[in-house]
Amino acid sequence: MLRRPQLAIIDRYILAEMAMPFLFGVAVFTLLAATIGVVFDLLRWLADNRLTLAVALQILGLRLPEFIILALPMSMLLTPLLVFNTLGRRSELVALQGCGVSVYRLALPILLVGFLLAGLTFGLNETIAPQTNYQALQIQTAALRRPQQKFREKNIFYREFVDNTLSRIFYARQFDGQQMQRITILNFDQGKLDQIIVANAAEWDQKQKHWDFQQGTVYSLTPNTESSSYTSIQPFQVTQLPLPSTPLQLATETRKIEQMNRWEATQFLRAIEQTGDQKWIRRWKVGIQEKNAFPFTCVVFGLIGAALGLSSYNRSQTSRGFGLSLAMIFAYYLLNSTCISLGEGGLLSPLLAAWLSPLVGLLTGGWLLFRAAR
């Protein structure tokens, strides 16, 4: 009969010691993130009678998952500092190390919790947080009587490429939520303009998967080496064209990447890749990679916190540990923001921009843990 694997006594002991400091850290950092992120604005709107207390509490409640997600990795940095400080003051770390328990073994339960929290963070980022963030924005916009932007109203621009060669340009001057207006389409053959379509209006038929164009003209051209001339001009009242729905998707999607899960963000990225707007594309590629990398911050902060706690427990105090946590958090996110900006600017690849900070943090934590073990 197989026995279920059980945690060693030392693991259970350290995990038990982690419980209260971790909950304390989550509470403090959630409060800090909420205060910076939304509480000041809510208080100002309440003072100006622009929001009721019930609506303000509803917005705050919907934003809480986002702030808890931010607090989890920060708490993983503070918790080991407090735990090993407590064990050090009680001389328990000295006793454990005297019994042959290595620094690496003491850090193991911290890393296990870090990986578990990374999975939890990933799950919250994929399920709850994007939806609640978007709901909070809608409620806030409605309560403040701001116009809700449900779609882009002007200048819908879309480029399509085949084998890295421009094949189509779609442009609509206006969009009312249902119908594109004042449309111009340029079709290219092997990079040369061979057809122009202009129409007063166009609407996407969801059932038939095509566009219904109204009151327009199709200009066919014969490209040559010097100039292009019209071979036919065909006016129409209504015609159907099997163009993709991408322009409609670009026009109706107003959510930010923080309000989408990875699958939704990836689908929208596929749409904007057709526009050829490299700055827009880079921003979304970096954002998606950042979604992938952020949960791993729990492991990185856990490793750094364990290394710092084990190397300085004999001279640390709770206030010093909290201050050290804030300093490390500031340094890490400053580096991360710099890398993200470089990635969006094209100086770093999206993958490197998102993962460089966790990699540097992991190497730093490993080096600190190695020093603590010497």
127 and 91, same domain (yes or no): yes
331 in a structural domain: yes
Q: How many domains does the chain have?
A: 2
State the DSSP code for 138.
H
273 in a structural domain: no
CB 234 within 8 A of CB 217: yes
63 and 120, same domain (yes or no): yes
128 and 159, same domain (yes or no): no
Per-residue pLDDT of the chain (374 residues; tens, 9 = 90+): 445 555 688 889 999 999 999 999 999 999 999 999 999 999 999 988 888 999 999 999 999 999 999 999 999 999 999 999 888 888 888 888 888 888 999 999 999 999 999 999 999 999 999 999 989 988 988 888 766 556 677 778 777 777 777 788 888 888 887 888 888 888 888 778 888 889 999 888 888 888 889 999 988 887 654 556 777 888 889 888 878 777 777 776 678 888 888 988 888 888 777 667 788 889 999 999 999 999 999 999 999 999 988 886 555 455 565 677 788 889 999 999 999 999 999 999 999 999 999 999 999 999 989 988 87
Which residue segment(s) compose the domain that 200 sits in?
A: 154-250
Domain-terminating residue out of 235, 250, 265: 250
Closest CA to 63 of 119, 128, 123, 122: 128
34 and 135, same domain (yes or no): yes
163 and 205, same domain (yes or no): yes
320 and 341, same domain (yes or no): yes
Domain-terminating residue out of 234, 250, 266: 250
281 in a structural domain: no
Alpha carbons 181 and 176: distance in angstroms, whole number: 8
255 in a structural domain: no
118 and 161, same domain (yes or no): no
CB 50 within 8 A of CB 143: yes
- pTM value is 0.78
134 and 186, same domain (yes or no): no
270 in a structural domain: no
The number of beta carbons lying within 10 Å of the beta carbon of residue 329 is: 18
Closest CA to 18 of 107, 102, 133: 107
106 in a structural domain: yes
240 and 319, same domain (yes or no): no
Domain-terminating residue out of 250, 267, 300: 250
Alpha carbons 105 and 96: distance in angstroms, whole number: 10
269 in a structural domain: no
58 in a structural domain: yes
Range 333-342 contact pairs with CB under 8 angstroms and sequence separation of 24 or more = 335/360, 340/286, 340/290
Contacts of 192 (CB under 8 A, 6+ apart): 223, 228
Largest Cα–Cα separation, the chain = 92
CB 299 within 8 A of CB 366: no
111 and 236, same domain (yes or no): no
158 and 138, same domain (yes or no): no
Alpha carbons 217 and 316: distance in angstroms, whole number: 78
| DSSP, residue by residue, 179-245 | EEEEEEEEEEETTEEEEEEEEEEEEEETTTTEEEEEEEEEEEEEE-SS-EEEEEEEEEEEEEE---S
